[in-house]
Amino acid sequence: MTPSAKIVELPRSQEGTSGYSVASLFSGIGGIDLGFERAGFEVRYQCEIRPFCQAVLETHWPSVPRSTDIKEVKADEIPAADAWVAGFPCQDVSLARMGRRDGLRGRQSSLFFEFARLVGEARPRVLLVENVSGLLSSHKGRDFGVVLGTLAELGYSLGWRVLNSKNFGVPQSRSRVYVVGCYRDREGPPSILFEPQRSEGMSKAGREDGEKPVSPFKRILKHAGAKGPVTKAIAYCLYAESARHTGTDWSRNYVSYPKDGKVRRLTPAECEGVMCFPPGWTKLKGMKDSDETDSPRYHALGNAVTPPVAEWIGERTLAYLRASDFVEAGKDEMAASL
């Protein structure tokens, strides 16, 4: 089933006004944060260790308290929030490395356990954990089992789903696994991650005989006339970590100029568009375009979560929280009347 996507970009002054809040760990450049903010959550806390990403977060959320090293964070330092979101490091479970995967034993992906430590102390109502789909197969699925088992032991009912950004209006095929946990509520995760009916984006059960549909990877878009650039209709997944390539894995994602016989990689600004971030999201004040400044932008964007997917999950999380609070308020009112 393909989730129905609705992308509505609100002015920042109108975002985060629902009365519900979110704390973000392994924040990166704030893809999940931006999505949840658009859904109506107030971003109350961020934790990110990379200096460039910290600078991006500071640019867009200057008043939000922020930590760097999650290993040094204590739960009572994190402001109270209804939901915690985390895209813990994928480097040790990612198939993009094309080498040995250390999984949750790896130096970076093992930081999941620091997240679990904090969750165990704070017990937020809702968790969202994001990672690459390679987490599902790491150590033949045992690592994913450890993630689920660890959170379940802390009292969370869990659901998970692989979502592809291309189904949310994003011009990129980007599959990621999303795990939702609700504290002591088994009805919560499926209500957030799954829709009860088929959406408009789902394929029909049958199709008349005829020409086979053309893959969006093979469809091209021409720009600016005959001499203009040519690009794919949809990009391959942007990788930050790869054994063969760097940044955008540009051997697969490129812009060509057939008339001139030239080929170039996507620019950081174009990668922002492919990820559906607002223009200039990763271009810091005073930053000039150069290979030196492009590199951290490529890396940060390749690691990021696409905001439209996070917004869809955020909207459904908000609906769940509101419904839960409505039920609890009804119980309190009934008890008071007895």
Say whether 106 sits in a helix, a strand or coil. Answer: coil
Q: Which two tokens stand for residue 182?
A: 């609700």
Give the pLDDT of residue 297. 93
- Report the C-alpha gap between 287 and 142 in whole angstroms: 43
Strand pairing report for 21-25 and 262-265? unpaired
Spatial contact of 26 and 70, defined as CB atoms under 8 Å apart: yes
How far apart are the C-alpha atoms of 233 and 289, rounded to whole Å?
Answer: 26
Structure confidence at residue 291 (pLDDT): 76
Q: 215 CB contacts (<8 Å, ≥6 apart)?
A: none
C-alpha 241/C-alpha 260 separation (Å) is 31
Provide the residue-wise pLDDT of the chain in tens; the chain has 338 residues. 455 444 444 445 445 577 999 999 999 999 999 999 999 999 999 999 999 999 999 999 999 999 999 999 999 999 999 999 999 877 656 666 555 667 677 667 889 999 999 999 999 999 999 998 888 888 888 989 999 999 999 999 999 999 999 999 999 999 999 999 999 999 999 999 998 765 555 444 444 555 555 566 566 666 656 566 888 788 888 886 544 444 455 557 888 887 777 888 889 999 999 999 999 999 998 888 777 888 899 999 999 999 999 999 999 999 999 999 987 766 666 667 66
Give CA separation, 307 vs 30, 76, 78, 108, 286, in Å: 8, 28, 23, 23, 25
Residues 42-79 as b/e (b if ≥16 CB within 10 A, e otherwise) read bbbbbbbebebbbbbbebbbeebeebeebeebeeeebe
Which residue is it, tokens 């955020």?
314
Q: Which domains does the chain have, with CATH numbers?
A: 12-197+303-333 (3.40.50.150)
Q: What is the dihedral of CA 232, 234, 240, 246, to 10 degrees?
A: -10
Cβ pair 145, 152 in contact under 8 A: no
- Helix 291-303 and helix 268-275: axis angle, to 10°? 10
The per-residue pLDDT for 335 is 67
Q: Which parts of the chain are beta strand (E)? A: 21-25, 42-47, 66-67, 83-86, 126-132, 156-164, 175-183, 220-222, 230-232, 254-257, 262-265
User: What pLDDT is attached to residue 215?
Assistant: 61
Backbone angles phi, psi at 222, to 5 degrees: -105, 140
- Residues ≥6 apart with Cβ < 8 Å to 116: 150, 151, 154
Kindly name the residue from 47, 90, 182, 276 that is annotated as catalytic: 90
Strand partners, 47: 25, 67
Annotated active-site residue 90? The verdict is yes
Q: pLDDT at position 226, please?
A: 59
How is residue 306 written in tokens? Answer: 């696409």
At 243-287, the pLDDT tens digits run 444 445 555 788 888 777 788 888 999 999 999 999 999 999 888
314 vs 41: CA distance, rounded Å: 8
Q: What is the pLDDT of residue 208?
A: 55
